[in-house]
Amino acid sequence: MATTLSNFTSETQLTTGEVTLVSTTSAASQKKLIGMATVTNTSDTAVEVTVWRLAIDTVGTTGSGGNWIWKETIYPYSTVRIDKIITHVLDSSMKLSALADTASVINIDISGTTET
């Protein structure tokens, strides 16, 4: 098995629809460990961000009974570490996805390791 440090996504701007940011293949040997994840609000208003850790074929849901792992309001011009997903493992056929209440103002950066 090989382990590689990876920059999964850098300065990716979230939209108001769920978008896959990091995923693994269906190969049973591929896994990804989330080492660091941050979101930066580049606007002058607070924006809520929702993040999911799900199977590839599962759609993220919000609200009461939703399947999200992290949801937080990000204050204007600030960067927040997504602490609830750090050190989580994506096994085969899994994804991290996210959305923001306002499009094109939240930048997300995720890095970690890929094991194959």
Instruction: Give the burial string for 77-86 (b: 16+ CB within 10 Å, else e).
Output: eeebebeebe
Parse the chain into domains and list their residue ranges.
3-115
pTM of the model: 0.93
pLDDT by residue, tens only, the chain of 116 residues? 789 999 999 989 999 999 999 999 876 778 999 999 999 999 999 999 999 999 999 999 988 889 999 999 999 999 999 999 999 999 999 999 999 999 999 999 999 999 98
Q: Which CATH architecture has domain 3-115?
A: Sandwich (2.60)
